[in-house]
Structure formats: structure tokens, C-alpha cells
Structure 1
Amino acid sequence: MDFRRLAEPAGLLYGTAAQDAVKRGFALPLAGGPAAFSCVDLIEDQTHSGFMPVGNVPAGWQDVLGRLVAKPPAAGMPEGPQVMGILNITPDSFSDGGLHQEVQRAVQAGKELISAGASVLDIGGESTRPGAAVVTPEQEWERIGRVVQGLKQQVPGAVLSIDTRNSAVMAQALAAGADVINDVSALTHDPEALPLLAGKHCGVVLMHMRGTPATMTQHAVYEDVACGVVRELGARLTAAIEGGIAPERLSVDPGLGFAKNTAQGVALLSRLPLLANLGCRVVLGVSRKRMIGELTGEPNAAGRDAGSQAASLEGLALGQTVLRVHAAEGMVQALRVWQCVHTA
């Protein structure tokens, strides 16, 4: 796919207004979700057409528009907008480090997230915050292995995502029943990860990041952060597909907080519909991040849930978005209210 050519949807409509505008030919549905877009900016390399009505788009761009309209595949997770609960089994994660290191406590925390409405659990054994200690794959699996096994035994229907960059951990987790692999390096960290996953059937989340967690702040320089993220994720999607992973198994995460400062994060959040160019499900993780703290003035990560919920709702214009959060109950409530208002 040629991601030099992007179309940015705008003029979003919801509910009956969206349905009526689509019927009358004034708008197009966005990514199989509740929104419709009435105008679009055509972007080729660094050249912008300027926003125009969707009916005025030249014939040579119809394939790009088609990507914006199509509902993305479920990619190993339940259909429709979902809440993914974060379960960090680490001593040093920025928000909940040390809370879930004992196996039964971690399993219980996972069950509570499910009871609160999380349809997917994202289990991690390595902190990827700047300055985090290096963890070997053996240490990582030692932290999460019995938690994955315990959740599969006690909640057999639970959908488990494993937040890891290491192929050895991926292989053991999938053998234990995991459903999704969530790689913050988009399969660049471990050269064995892509060939391993090509031979599996799980969902795969590719997150945008430049550099490594230790060096990423040095790489937060963009001419256009939204277009840059989409194109760089597009390159990783192409590599994954050419490496043997079926497109319907792939989701993308724009990587808020990874090689992006607060201003860049805000700019990216405000232009999330651009991600529809990738034709993939979006996993959006802003929960309790520094960006939320800087925007709200809340210094404590655990006090940022309301801001996290507000930011997460920006992703719901796209169909099938997965909202990755620490506190599931409030996010589920916010999601349901948003749906009632925007699909009426």
C-alpha cells in the first residue's frame, strides 16, 4: 500500500445526521463506526489539497477513500468498541508498579477488571517507561506466566493480550492460551518475533514508537506528527504483512507518550481519523500518562482517570476502537454514555 497518499477526514457527523448525510451523498461513513465525514483533505507526500466536500474528490483517490470507509477487522478481539484493562506485573511501571506481583493478587485484579466491563486484559511483565530497568525474557515470563495460566484456568473465556517485545515470551504466552500479542516496538525489537507470529493465528498490535523506551524522547521531532505516525505505522504494517501475518490479524496503536511530547500527543489525538487510512483496528492507550498530568495539572498517575477517559473517547469516531485503560469501570460508563449520545 502507498501511504505517501493519505486522506484526512473531517466535518464529522453522528447519529441521524450522519445517516441522513450518507443517504443524500453529502458524507461517507468512517471506518464502520458511528461517524460520517463530509469533507476530506488529500495529502500526497507533503502537499495538501485543502479540505473539500467528499463529492468533489477526484476519481484517482477513490481507493484511498475506500480505506477510510471500510470497517476494520476485529483482529483477535471482540467486535465493536471495547475496553482493554491494563494488568502490569512489574515492580516499576509508572502507575501501578508493584501492585500485582503476587500471582493470586494479580489474577484477582484481572478478574475484577473483567467484572468491571473490560473485554480484553493486557498483561505486561516489562515496564517500557523511560529509565525502566532492563528485564530479560526469562524474568518477564517468570513474572507473567502463572498469571496468564491462572486467568485462563479461572476465566476460560477471557481474552488475553500480552504486552511484550520478546519472541520467547510471545511463544510461551501463546502456548498458555493468550489471544493477542501487543508489541510496543511494532516487531522491530526481536528479529524472531515476526517469523514466530507469522506461523500463529493470534491478533497482533503494532505500536508506533521511535527508538527505544530509553532513547525515544530524543526522537520526538516531526514535520507533521499525525501524518508521520500514520506513514511509519503503515511501513510496519507492510513489513508484517510481507512477513506472513494476515492483514485481518493486525491492529495499530499510535503510541501516545512514546516519542511524542504533550503538544504532539494533543495534535495526534485531535486528528485520530487519519488512522483510518491504515484499514486496521485502533488500540488507543492514553491512560494516566504524563500528557494527561500536564494537561490537567494532576501530579499523581492514579488521579488521572477522568482525564484519561476524556482523551480516550476521542478514538470512538473510528469503528472497532479498543480503549486501553487502568481503571475499567469508569471507562466502560463513559463509553456507554458516549454511544447513547452519538448513535441516537
Structure 2
Amino acid sequence: MFNGQGPQIMGILNVTPDSFSDGGRYCSLTAALNQAENMIAEGADLIDVGGESTRPGSSPVPAEEQIRRVIPVITALRTLHPNISISIDTTLSTVADAAILAGARIINDVSAGLGDARMLEFAAASRTPIILMHAQGTPQTMQDNPYYADVVVEVKSTLQLRVTAALSAGVKPENILLDPGIGFGKRRQDNIDLLAHLAQFVALGFPVLLGTSRKRFMGNLLKLTDPGELVTATAVTTALGVMAGVQMFRVHDVKANRQAADVAWAIKQAQ
């Protein structure tokens, strides 16, 4: 998956009516494919297709509805861009199964396999890489007074437990990626602390994905309420992530983050 050529940019394609930043914008197949084309042209290495919002307070979407939303997009993308990597953003193994059959190649599971007892077994049986993300609680409850005594230690510990579970289910080590889950059941300072210690997650020995794109903690820090105003702030975290050894970045705004990642990578290589 990683060829040593530098950080990878994962473009976010939410085919949902209620995602926090772009809900409802890409629900039609034409709109979704146009957005994917734009992100690929701007330098995306992967397209992450999701049919369920995981914003704070969001409700679960049944597997059948997720499949209805994502499969036409994945099928068309695979036909139009046979060489682009596609990930499926879901916590349900039935959705992942349908997406893999349609042409997705990576599972992006914000529950790290806890949302569906069959997910890790499916990833193992299908030999599909899986991103294990840390979240405290569920989207409905995760921002209801989250608390950590030491957020870095606790998130690392939880991710290590999920790695153990994945390995026990038969997932190969080379098919595991980790995501500290910025904004998922974390206070503003928790997110900042995680960003300050990204190298500790890289040191766990698995590729790390960072997802800060347009997240509310940066808006709170900068006193901005429009997520669309956080493009520069997101790019800063991407550059910092590259310097810490993070290998993949999940973003809405591909061009700015592609530039940030590539410049930071050149500097890191010079070190």
C-alpha cells in the first residue's frame, strides 16, 4: 500500500445528507463522481466513500441504506479510474463486503471493529487492509463530556488492544492501519495533545492515518464557526503529521493538503 514515495492523501466523499461539513452536497451519482474527479485531479491517492455520517449526534444508518448510497459510486469510480484506491467508510461488515465486491480495496472503520463483531473476521477472510480508529463512545454520545486522565496513553492502549483483536481474528499485520481519532470523543486539548504526540502512534509500528479535516476543535481554537474556513488550519496539521511520520491524511480539501504534505515530505527527506 505504501511504496515509499511519500504521504498519501485520502479524499473524503460523503454521499450522505447530514455530514458535518458537506452533508447533502454529493448525494447524487453525478455530483459524487464530479467531486471524485476534482479530488483525483488535485492529487488524491485514495477516495474514501461513506454512506453514514459519524458527526457528533448522528444516528446509525442501516446497512441496506448505506449500500444503496455507496455502491453505485464505488462501481462507477472503479470503472472510470481503475487505478485509484477506494476505501469504504463503514462500521458494518455487510456494507464492507458489498463495497469490496464493487471495487473498494480498504475498510475505514471508525469503531475499530467494535461496531460489528464480524468486521475483523471479514477483513481477515477477504485479506482487506483495515483502518482501526479510536473513538470514545458512539457518534450519538462521544462528545457528552469525554474524559481522559492521559489521552495519549489511553488512546495508544486502546489501539493496541484493537490491533491484538485484529491479529487474533486473522488480519495480517501488513493490513492494519491506525487512526488516533481526532475529534471522536475528545476535548479540544485532547486533540491538541494527540497532535503533539503523533510520533508515539507512528512508533507502534503500523501506518498511521490522520483525520483533522475542518474539525471543530480548530474552529473553537480560532473562533471560527464555518468549517470551510479551516482549510489552512487543516493543512498545518497535515504538515506536522508528515514530519511526525504519519503516512495518510483524510481530507476534504485535497489541493491544499497535497501541497502541505509534499513540501513537508521534501523537508523531512532532507533531514
Q: CA deviation at 1:78?
A: 7.9
Aligned to 2:20: 94
Aligned to 2:42: 116
1:1-344 matches, within 5 Å, as: 74=2, 80-218=6-144, 220-319=146-245, 321-344=247-270
TM-score for both structures, normalised by structure 1? 0.76
Q: CA deviation at 1:341?
A: 2.9
Q: CA deviation at 1:320?
A: 5.5
Residue 111 of structure 1 contacts residue 155 of structure 1 at CA under 8 Å; is this kept in 2?
A: no
* Separation in structure 1 between the aligned mates of residue 48 and residue 95 of structure 2, nearest angstrom: 14
TM-score for both structures, normalised by structure 2? 0.96
Query: Which structure 1 residue ranges, 5 or more long, are not aligned?
Result: 1-72
* Separation in structure 1 between the aligned mates of residue 7 and residue 51 of structure 2, nearest angstrom: 26
Percent of paired sites with the same residue: 39
Residue 207 of structure 1 contacts residue 253 of structure 1 at CA under 8 Å; is this kept in 2?
A: yes
SS state of the match for residue 220, structure 1? coil
* Separation in structure 2 between the aligned mates of residue 88 and residue 276 of structure 1, nearest angstrom: 27
1:9-49 CA distance string (max 9 Å, x none): xxxxxxxxxxxxxxxxxxxxxxxxxxxxxxxxxxxxxxxxx
Q: CA deviation at 1:316?
A: 1.0
Taking only aligned residues, the RMSD between alpha carbons, in angstroms, comes to 1.5
Residue 124 of structure 1 contacts residue 163 of structure 1 at CA under 8 Å; is this kept in 2?
A: yes
1:163–1:78 Cα change, 3 Å? farther
Partner amino acid for 1:80? G
Partner amino acid for 1:121? I
Q: CA deviation at 1:331?
A: 0.7
Partner amino acid for 2:263? V
Q: CA deviation at 1:319?
A: 3.7
1:283-333 CA distance string (max 9 Å, x none): 000000101111222210111110111122221134451011101011111
Q: How many residue pairs end up in the alignment? A: 270
1:221-267 CA distance string (max 9 Å, x none): 11111111111100000000011000100000000000101111001
1:85–1:150 Cα change, 3 Å? same
* Separation in structure 1 between the aligned mates of residue 245 and residue 60 of structure 2, nearest angstrom: 36
SS state of the match for residue 216, structure 1? coil
Q: CA deviation at 1:79?
A: 5.4
Point out the structure with the larger strand share. 1
Q: CA deviation at 1:191?
A: 1.1
* Separation in structure 2 between the aligned mates of residue 138 and residue 199 of structure 1, nearest angstrom: 22
SS state of the match for residue 249, structure 2? strand
1:127-174 CA distance string (max 9 Å, x none): 011222331010011111100001001111110011000111000000
Partner amino acid for 2:62? T
Structure of higher CA gyration radius: 1
Residue 238 of structure 2 contacts residue 260 of structure 2 at CA under 8 Å; is this kept in 1?
A: no
Partner amino acid for 1:228? E
* Separation in structure 2 between the aligned mates of residue 267 and residue 235 of structure 1, nearest angstrom: 21
1:78–1:146 Cα change, 3 Å? farther
* Separation in structure 1 between the aligned mates of residue 247 and residue 56 of structure 2, nearest angstrom: 27
Partner amino acid for 2:192? V
1:57-91 CA distance string (max 9 Å, x none): xxxxxxxxxxxxxxxx73xx885311111000000
Partner amino acid for 2:226? N
SS state of the match for residue 44, structure 2? coil
